Chain A
Amino acid sequence: MIGADPQTGTGGAPGGGAAAFAGLWIGAALVGLFVAAALLSFVWTPYDVTRIDVAAKLQGPSAAHWFGTDHFGRDLFSMIMVGARTSLAVALVAVGIGMGVGVPLGLTAAALRGGWLDELIMRANDLVFAFPALLIAVMITAVFGPSAFNAILAIGIFNIPVFARLTRGAALGYWQLDFIRAAQVCGKGRARISVEHVLPNLFNILIVQGTIQFSLGILAEAGLSYVGLGAQPPLPSWGRMLAESQTMFSFAPHLALFPGLSILLAVLGLNLLGDGLRDRLDPRRGLAP
Chain B
Amino acid sequence: MLRFALFRALSLGLSLVAASLVVFFALEIVPGDPAAAMLGVNAQEDTLAALRAELGLDRGPVARYFDWAGGLLRGDFGISYTYRTPVAQMIADRLWVSLPLALYALALTLLIAFPAGLAAAARRGKGTDLTIMGVTQLGIAVPNFWFAMLLVLAFSITLRWFSAGGFPGWEAGVGPAMKALTLPAIALALPQASILTRVLRSALIETLGQDYIRTARARGLTRRQVLWRHALRNALIPVLTIIGLQFSFLLAGAIIIENVFYLPGLGRLIFQSIGQRDIIVVESVVMLLVFAVILVTFLVDLAYAAVDPRLRRPR
Question: Across the interface, do B199 and A11 meet the contact criterion of CB distance under 8 Å?
Answer: yes
CA distance A11 to B15 in the complex (A): 31
Q: Report the minimum CB–CB distance from B272 to chain A (whole Å).
A: 12
Question: Across the interface, do A5 and B256 meet the contact criterion of CB distance under 8 Å?
Answer: no
Contact with B along A122-150 (1 / 0, CB 8 A): 11001101111011001100110000000
CA distance A211 to B315 in the complex (A): 28
Interface members, chain A 1-60 (any B CB < 8 Å): 1-5, 8, 10-16, 19
Question: Across the interface, do A123 and B11 meet the contact criterion of CB distance under 8 Å?
Answer: yes
Question: If A8-B199, A8-B242, A14-B120 touch, does A268 touch B138 (CB 8 Å cutoff)?
Answer: yes
Residues of A within 8 A of B140 (CB): 4, 10, 267, 271
Question: Across the interface, do A143 and B29 meet the contact criterion of CB distance under 8 Å?
Answer: yes
- A286 located at the interface, meaning its Cβ lies under 8 Å from any Cβ of chain B in the complex: no
Interface 9-residue window, one of A64-72, A89-97, A220-228: A220-228
Interface 9-residue window, one of A100-108, A195-203, A249-257: A249-257
- B80 located at the interface, meaning its Cβ lies under 8 Å from any Cβ of chain A in the complex: no
The prevalent SS among residues of B at the interface is helix
Contact with A along B188-210 (1 / 0, CB 8 A): 00011001001101100000010
Contact with A along B212-255 (1 / 0, CB 8 A): 00000000000000000000000000000010011001101101
CA distance A19 to B133 in the complex (A): 11
Q: Report the minimum CB–CB distance from A239 to chain B (whole Å).
A: 8
Question: Across the interface, do A246 and B149 meet the contact criterion of CB distance under 8 Å?
Answer: yes
CA distance A242 to B129 in the complex (A): 33
Question: If A11-B202, A126-B297, A138-B274 touch, does A223 touch B19 (CB 8 Å cutoff)?
Answer: no
Interface 9-residue window, one of B56-64, B178-186, B287-295: B287-295
Interface members, chain A 230-268 (any B CB < 8 Å): 239, 242, 246, 249-250, 253, 256, 259-260, 263-265, 267-268
CA distance A260 to B149 in the complex (A): 10
CA distance A227 to B274 in the complex (A): 13
Partner of A130, one of B202, B282, B294: B294
Residues of B within 8 A of A129 (CB): 293, 297
Q: Tell which of B145, B274, B290, B315 has the most Cβ of chain A within 10 Å.
A: B145
- B142 located at the interface, meaning its Cβ lies under 8 Å from any Cβ of chain A in the complex: yes
Question: Across the interface, do B141 and A3 meet the contact criterion of CB distance under 8 Å?
Answer: no
- A167 located at the interface, meaning its Cβ lies under 8 Å from any Cβ of chain B in the complex: no
Residues of B within 8 A of A253 (CB): 153
CA distance A249 to B289 in the complex (A): 33
Q: Report the minimum CB–CB distance from B262 to chain A (whole Å).
A: 12
Question: Across the interface, do B289 and A19 meet the contact criterion of CB distance under 8 Å?
Answer: no
CA distance A227 to B138 in the complex (A): 23
- A272 located at the interface, meaning its Cβ lies under 8 Å from any Cβ of chain B in the complex: yes
Residues of A within 8 A of B130 (CB): 14-15, 19
Question: If A10-B140, A130-B290, A134-B255 touch, does A139 touch B15 (CB 8 Å cutoff)?
Answer: no
- A82 located at the interface, meaning its Cβ lies under 8 Å from any Cβ of chain B in the complex: no
CA distance A222 to B259 in the complex (A): 14
Excluding A5-B242, A14-B120, A135-B255, 18 further A-B contacts by CB distance (< 8 Å) are A1-B192, A8-B195, A8-B242, A10-B137, A13-B133, A14-B130, A16-B125, A123-B14, A127-B22, A129-B293, A138-B271, A138-B274, A223-B256, A250-B153, A267-B140, A271-B137, A271-B140, A289-B209
Residues of A with Cβ closer than 8 Å to B? 1-5, 8, 10-16, 19, 119, 122-123, 126-127, 129-132, 134-135, 138-139, 142-143, 215, 219, 222-223, 226-227, 239, 242, 246, 249-250, 253, 256, 259-260, 263-265, 267-268, 271-272, 289
In the complex, 24 of the A-B residue pairs with CB atoms within 8 angstroms, ordered by the A residue number, are A3-B252, A4-B249, A11-B133, A11-B201, A11-B202, A12-B202, A14-B133, A16-B125, A119-B314, A126-B15, A127-B18, A131-B286, A132-B252, A132-B293, A134-B252, A134-B253, A134-B255, A134-B256, A139-B26, A142-B30, A143-B27, A226-B143, A227-B271, A260-B149
Residues of B with Cβ closer than 8 Å to A? 11, 14-15, 18-19, 22-23, 26-27, 29-31, 120, 124-125, 129-130, 133, 136-138, 140-146, 149-150, 153, 157, 191-192, 195, 198-199, 201-202, 209, 242, 245-246, 249-250, 252-253, 255-256, 259, 270-271, 274, 282, 286, 289-290, 293-294, 297, 314-315
